Amino acid sequence: MSTPGQRHDRQIVGLGDICDELHVETASAVGKPRPVYDAVMKRLRPGDVFVIWDLDRAYRSTRDALDQLDRLQGRNISIQIANLGLDTSTPYGVLIYTIIGALAQFERDLLSQRTKEGLEAARRNGKRLGRPPKMTRAQLETASMRLANSMESFDRVASEYGVAGWTLARSLRREGIEIER
């Protein structure tokens, strides 16, 4: 499973020789609606093997991977992880699948923790996070004076800066610039 910006070539080439059918899901494994994945799950029959390229390409978490394995095993369907040559039709395969699921979850958790720590460090160092402001402080001060000294509307003044009236109003509030009309 991949996000729309990612390429599937490596997975398609790797799976092409070992699968009867290929289905490409562009929805993230973390997202709720996964129409291709859901359709494939409905089509699987007892004795089938669900082949995936990599465990973290298909499942949201270790719990999700293990729950799905239980559901599929209950339907007499096994999972094969192609890039590892792993097959869950054996006890060893299930053990390694479980370990890999835990390691993938650990990797995701570490990445999340590092990202949060990096963002917090940036905030402590005074870095502004997120999209850059649409208007500079000088533009906001000029717009404020125009609004205070005339009967021009927020929308009219904002349009000259290429923003919406609500963006101008919000930016003025964020900067603590008050308008006296």
Residue 42's nearest CA partner among 72, 9, 1, 65 is 72
Residue 55's nearest CA partner among 21, 83, 31, 76 is 83
Q: How far apart are CA 99 and CA 101, in angstroms?
A: 5
Could you state, in order of their start, the residue ranges of all structural domains in the chain? 9-124, 137-174
**In the CATH scheme, what is the code of domain 9-124?**
3.40.50.1390
Catalytic residue from among 2, 78, 112, 150:
2
Q: How far apart are CA 145 and CA 139, in angstroms?
A: 10
Model pLDDT for residues 54-106, shown as the tens digit of each residue: 887 788 788 888 999 999 999 999 999 888 889 999 999 999 999 988 888 89
Within 13 Å of residue 114, how many CA atoms lie on the same side as its CB? 6
Neighbour-count burial of 169, counting CB atoms closer than 10 A to its CB (0-12 exposed, 13-18 middle, 19+ buried): middle
Strands 78-81 and 49-52: parallel
Say what the pLDDT of residue 2 is.
Answer: 43
Measured from the Cβ of residue 148, the count of other Cβ atoms closer than 10 Å reads 12
| pLDDT classification of 1: cutoffs 50, 70, 90 | very low
Say what the pLDDT of residue 4 is.
Answer: 47
Section 28-43 average pLDDT: 81
Catalytic residue flag (residue 2):
yes
Inter-residue long-range contacts of 164-169, CB under 8 Å, 24+ positions, other chains counted: 167/134, 167/135, 168/135, 168/140, 168/143
